[in-house]
Structure 1
Amino acid sequence: MKLRIFCILVAIGGASTGFAADQAAVRAQFLVAHKLAKAGLDWQSAAPEMASYPLLPYLEHAALMHTPRPTSEALAAFIARHGDQPLTRTLRSQLIARRVQTKDWKGVQSLDLASLPPVDRCHQYQAAIELGQGQDRKDAMRAIWLSGKALPSACHPLDHWLRQQGALDGDSVWQRIELAVAANQIGLLRTLATDLTGKDKVAALHLADLLTNSAPARRNAKTWPDDVAHRKAMVLGLVRIAARDDALAATLWREFSPLFKFDDAQKYRVIDTIALYRANSFEADAANWLDMLPVGQDSAATREWRLREALSRRDLAAAQAAIDRFDTTQLTDPRWQYWRARVAELRGDAAAAGRFYRELALSPTFFGFLAAARADRPYALCPIPAPAATDASRALAQPGLHAPLNCTRLDGRPRHGVSGMPR
């Protein structure tokens, strides 16, 4: 499929040469009209042919932006004419912000799109709150609030409303703390700690101290109380530390694990993360960490690195054991199907290897290609006829293709944009 698309694009390139030649004069007029529009002059009279030109919106945009601060009515009219295009997105955000300032909440909602950026999305939810529709958007607002980074000021009304509704309980705060830890947003973590009380608040602040990676904070962690909140904080801390320094995380785990009564899920989450990064670095003790994980307590990533680590040592028995841990999703991935066959071949099980290779050879993928070569089977990546000229003509007939083709010709380089114009 991808090859066919490529061939059609090549054909389009050839067909578009004639298309470009036919349009050369019109493009020259466009450049003149664009200069006039940017200067605030009458470009319509100078280039009447532009009324049906694919890049007409750029001329209208240049004329609109000649005014330092276009009126809201002019912005709304331009957006209404051209819908959701890259050219209108900045203008849409500007108009939404203006309507928020004037508290025109219905006007804000009239500009709603699924593709709005976060700030505009928060403005939409604020409009819903002001119009009494907040309950219908509560789950969506909570999803925005659950961010690992600080929210823009436009989202603060959502935060205030969710608190008023009692929608942000301790569990929600801990969910966001986990996201903040993963994003290394320690400042946000400290801010979120103020939303907690009692042991939870103390544990969150202790976690922030631990993640500063200072020796005193690590020493103090040995005196943390063994309560639910601190066990949760310790797990989050060790998982984060393992991502940046797996050797340190391994040392800290040995020191801290006897001090806390972790449940199995917490214990194996930490071990899984340390094992993953030890294997990722092919450390000498990687296999030992991997062996600490019982079946069912390891992640998909760790299972895959278990195989890689075993293959790096040419330990075929360990490699087969790693494959035996794979779940259904992994065993339907051509990459791991290939390595299942390869390991069987290396272990001398020619019958199983041949069967696996033959099955995989039917897959039109890179690993299916490799399997077909090993099984001496036809490749599933079948050649296709070169597209006919009519294919290119049909493609060129699509209105949406004209603008990028013209942009490319005007710029003289293969990018869908005209220098100095909004992307």
Structure 2
Amino acid sequence: MPAYAAQRDDERAAFRRALDAVEHGRDWKKEAAVLERYPLLPSLEALELTRRIGKAKKPDEIKADEIEAFLARWPETLAADDVRRAWLADRAGNGRWKEFRAAYAPGLGREFACHDLAARLADGEKLDFAKDWTALWESSTALPASCDGPLARSVDAGVIDGARLRQRIDRALDAGQSGVIDELVAHLPAAERPAATQIALALRDAPAALKQAATWPDDTRHRDAVVAAIKRVARRDADGAADAYAKLKARYQFSDKQKGDVAAAFALYRATEFDADALERLASVPAASQTDGTREWRVRVALAASDWTAALAALDALSDTQKADAEWRYLRARVLAKLDRKSEAAPVFAALAREANFYGFLAADWSGEAYTICPLTLAADRDAEKSLREGALDRAFEWRAVDRLRDARREWDWAMARFTPPQRRLAADLAYREGWYDRAVFALNKGDELKLYEQRFPLAREPQIRRESHETGLDPAWTYAIIRAESAWVEDARSSANALGLMQLLPGTAAQLAKTENIAYRRAEDLFLPDTNIALGTRYLSQMAEKYNGAPWLASAAYNAGPAPVARWLAARGDLEPDFFIASIPYRETREYVARVLAFSVIYDWRMNGKALALAARLPRNGQAYAAPKDDTPRKAVVCPAAAEPADAASATAAPGS
């Protein structure tokens, strides 16, 4: 082992011991000599210092000089930011505003920005709305508690007047943020408070608001509250909302715009249930109340009914922004072909076929063209790369080396926020080459970076993925695509539903699979082990595929939404062609997921084989048998015409088929 590597191993071992000591309140200084040049020494010192700040029982227990010395010793580091935040919170909590201002630096977030306003007010300064409040005021979420004092002072001083309060309430109403309104009610004139309270209630508990609405006065703001409540109730109970609206119309003089907005809400939520009158309702919504949602669902309902004339009319009614989206261009071409207007459909398919997204791949299948994928490569710059590694990136990689992935990502994100675009690309490539794939995936997300397919679609763990896929009858490209869509290669990913790891398995599902498949599995945290996760995940994916005769598009939908919803959709619309069926999936997340997975399957197939199985072949009709491709299965050529401008497969938002 090289001397440097041995030294770094010793440092990591010492750091682990020191970190454990700090986290358990023991002295870590005996390890300090070994760690003198170790990249994570400032993080270790910061952890100890922030813990001391948090446990201090008296304001003067820790001196400002000690904080200043630390900040001077480790300038421009995440460790310094952590200490600064802890110190500022402590000084603000103790009303030590002079020390707060001495240590404050902009860019630490809204909480500390408001503490800074309080500090300046304590020093007798006057606030200015444009300079001090604009950024805070335009946010769509509630202000932190540290803003309460400065807000009250600013209202009293007229810096924030009634018009600005009402403006923020209106924005909160549009954004559905009841907490924003709650924080402002007390600052309104007394006559305006009841209506604002009811608007907040309508957003927070719409059924309760509708029960109370029969006793509210008929004024502009109370009408806003009633309409907001009706629209929110309609999401889950369109019939109940309609009944409530019918009763309240006699009490309130709703404006034409409000009536139109209610009609749009009823039409939209009936459309997602594919009610018989949904198409008629959507088409009759007044123009002023039409939204992107009502316009797109008019298309989806028409497609689900195979009413091609109505579908084309709905496509014509989309906004210009919507019409430019690949999904709607593709569906327009498909509908034109259904109406036997193939000469009009052909140029749309041809243009789409030059894009590297889900619709582009399917358009290429319809037009008989090769797939267009134009990969770029990053030029090596070892000197620049070396300079990047000398600071925060080195610390990020070290956190990863000692198995502290959350800390590693914090350090990485802190560094990336300070890099130039060329530096960020170099850092992403470095992470890719170091096997930290998720950092590259997340970093390369716009412009020409989307063409860096090697880094964005890594062929990680290929021997295992090929082996596990073949053992379970899966296409390895599809397995890769599921991993990429589920976790983007974040090994310790955890969803809000507690799905874990690369393939996002629920612990209960994993335990059941492990038992039936005789795979070693002891506890939920085992799903953070890639070998275990992929072994179990491929078997679960195979079970999904078996439910649908192997069809990847249906199995992908079930992997995302669960088999029960897919069963309902198939019972209602299972005779649709796959592309139209997927366009009619009520869950936006699932529509987008299926599109992503199948587009990623094409890209991974190309990455592994130089060619790709036709996407249309991955979309058998419901009930038709599908078998994973083999090595000798015919695949389509992938080309890069000189004028091609490929788009990102990840941007696809729904999945068509043939």
Which TM bucket (shorter chain)? Answer: 0.7 to 0.9
The 5-angstrom pairing of residues 14-93 of structure 1 reads 22-32=4-14, 35-36=17-18, 38=22, 39-44=27-32, 46-47=33-34, 50-62=35-47, 64=49, 67=52, 69=56, 70-83=62-75, 85-93=77-85
**CA deviation digits over 1:392-414, x for unaligned, max 9?**
88646522432222222222x86
The normalised TM-score by structure 1 is: 0.76
Hey, what does 1:176 align to over in structure 2? 169
**1:74 offset after TM fit, Å?**
2.5
- 1:139–1:361 CA distance, 2 compared to 1 (3 A): farther
- 1:266–1:131 CA distance, 2 compared to 1 (3 A): farther
Hey, what does 2:374 align to over in structure 1? 382
- 1:139–1:375 CA distance, 2 compared to 1 (3 A): farther
- 1:90–1:383 CA distance, 2 compared to 1 (3 A): closer
Instruction: Give the partner amino acid of 1:338.
Output: Y
**1:306 offset after TM fit, Å?**
1.6
The 5-angstrom pairing of residues 411-422 of structure 1 reads 411=403, 417=408
Partner SS, residue 382 of structure 1? coil
Once residues 72 and 190 of structure 1 are traced to their aligned partners in structure 2, the CA distance between those partners, rounded to angstroms, is 34
**1:227 offset after TM fit, Å?**
2.9
Hey, what does 1:339 align to over in structure 2? 331
Q: For the Cα contact (< 8 Å) 2:142–2:183, is it kept in 1?
A: no
**1:271 offset after TM fit, Å?**
2.3
**1:96 offset after TM fit, Å?**
1.3
Partner SS, residue 306 of structure 2? coil
Q: For the Cα contact (< 8 Å) 2:352–2:364, is it kept in 1?
A: yes
**1:352 offset after TM fit, Å?**
1.6
- 1:337–1:58 CA distance, 2 compared to 1 (3 A): same
**CA deviation digits over 1:199-229, x for unaligned, max 9?**
x4444455567675568x6466346443323
Does the alignment pair 1:158 with 2:150? yes
Partner SS, residue 259 of structure 2? helix
Once residues 211 and 118 of structure 2 are traced to their aligned partners in structure 1, the CA distance between those partners, rounded to angstroms, is 45
Which of 405, 408, 411 is 2:397 aligned to?
405
The 5-angstrom pairing of residues 59-138 of structure 1 reads 59-62=44-47, 64=49, 67=52, 69=56, 70-83=62-75, 85-100=77-92, 101-105=94-98, 107-108=100-101, 110-114=103-107, 116-131=108-123, 134-138=126-130
**1:150 offset after TM fit, Å?**
5.8
Q: For the Cα contact (< 8 Å) 1:148–1:177, is it kept in 2?
A: no
**CA deviation digits over 1:268-300, x for unaligned, max 9?**
222223322222333333224313313353111
Once residues 279 and 83 of structure 1 are traced to their aligned partners in structure 2, the CA distance between those partners, rounded to angstroms, is 57
Hey, what does 1:291 align to over in structure 2? 283
**1:169 offset after TM fit, Å?**
0.7
**1:122 offset after TM fit, Å?**
1.2
Partner SS, residue 276 of structure 2? coil
Does the alignment pair 1:273 with 2:273? no
Q: For the Cα contact (< 8 Å) 2:142–2:179, is it kept in 1?
A: no
Q: For the Cα contact (< 8 Å) 1:108–1:123, is it kept in 2?
A: no
Instruction: Give the partner amino acid of 1:60.
Output: E
Instruction: Give the partner amino acid of 2:291.
Output: S
Q: For the Cα contact (< 8 Å) 2:206–2:232, is it kept in 1?
A: no
**1:102 offset after TM fit, Å?**
4.5
Instruction: Give the partner amino acid of 1:249.
Output: A
**1:251 offset after TM fit, Å?**
2.5
**CA deviation digits over 1:295-322, x for unaligned, max 9?**
3531112211221122122122222122
Q: For the Cα contact (< 8 Å) 1:276–1:305, is it kept in 2?
A: yes
Once residues 243 and 306 of structure 1 are traced to their aligned partners in structure 2, the CA distance between those partners, rounded to angstroms, is 17
Aligned residues: 392
- 1:123–1:218 CA distance, 2 compared to 1 (3 A): closer
**1:378 offset after TM fit, Å?**
3.4
- 1:270–1:260 CA distance, 2 compared to 1 (3 A): same
**1:250 offset after TM fit, Å?**
2.5
Once residues 151 and 196 of structure 2 are traced to their aligned partners in structure 1, the CA distance between those partners, rounded to angstroms, is 20
Does the alignment pair 1:328 with 2:314? no
Instruction: Give the partner amino acid of 2:42.
Output: P
Instruction: Give the partner amino acid of 1:324.
Output: D
Q: For the Cα contact (< 8 Å) 1:345–1:353, is it kept in 2?
A: yes
The 5-angstrom pairing of residues 209-228 of structure 1 reads 212=205, 218=210, 221-222=213-214, 224-228=216-220
Q: For the Cα contact (< 8 Å) 2:115–2:146, is it kept in 1?
A: yes
Relative to its length, the structure with more helix (as a share) is 1
Partner SS, residue 262 of structure 1? coil
Once residues 97 and 217 of structure 2 are traced to their aligned partners in structure 1, the CA distance between those partners, rounded to angstroms, is 52
**1:91 offset after TM fit, Å?**
2.2
Once residues 313 and 341 of structure 1 are traced to their aligned partners in structure 2, the CA distance between those partners, rounded to angstroms, is 17
- 1:140–1:267 CA distance, 2 compared to 1 (3 A): farther
Q: For the Cα contact (< 8 Å) 2:268–2:293, is it kept in 1?
A: yes
Does the alignment pair 1:310 with 2:302? yes
Structure ranking higher on relative contact order (CA contacts 8 Å, 6+ apart): 1
**1:66 offset after TM fit, Å?**
7.4
Instruction: Give the partner amino acid of 1:292.
Output: S
**CA deviation digits over 1:135-178, x for unaligned, max 9?**
44556536536777764431111221221133241662474276
Once residues 106 and 50 of structure 2 are traced to their aligned partners in structure 1, the CA distance between those partners, rounded to angstroms, is 23
- 1:313–1:359 CA distance, 2 compared to 1 (3 A): same
**CA deviation digits over 1:232-283, x for unaligned, max 9?**
2322222333344333223223333354333333222222233222223333
The normalised TM-score by structure 2 is: 0.51
Partner SS, residue 113 of structure 1? coil
**1:333 offset after TM fit, Å?**
1.8
Partner SS, residue 398 of structure 1? helix
Once residues 149 and 215 of structure 2 are traced to their aligned partners in structure 1, the CA distance between those partners, rounded to angstroms, is 40
**CA deviation digits over 1:7-61, x for unaligned, max 9?**
xxxxxxxxxxx99x953432322432563584242544x32xx444332323433
- 1:184–1:163 CA distance, 2 compared to 1 (3 A): closer
Partner SS, residue 112 of structure 1? coil
Q: For the Cα contact (< 8 Å) 1:148–1:185, is it kept in 2?
A: no
- Calculate the aligned-residue CA RMSD, in Å: 3.9
Once residues 73 and 310 of structure 2 are traced to their aligned partners in structure 1, the CA distance between those partners, rounded to angstroms, is 63
**1:128 offset after TM fit, Å?**
3.8
Once residues 106 and 401 of structure 1 are traced to their aligned partners in structure 2, the CA distance between those partners, rounded to angstroms, is 31
Which of 170, 192, 207 is 2:185 aligned to?
192
Q: For the Cα contact (< 8 Å) 1:112–1:124, is it kept in 2?
A: no
Instruction: Give the partner amino acid of 2:345.
Output: A
Q: For the Cα contact (< 8 Å) 2:218–2:253, is it kept in 1?
A: yes
- 1:27–1:133 CA distance, 2 compared to 1 (3 A): farther
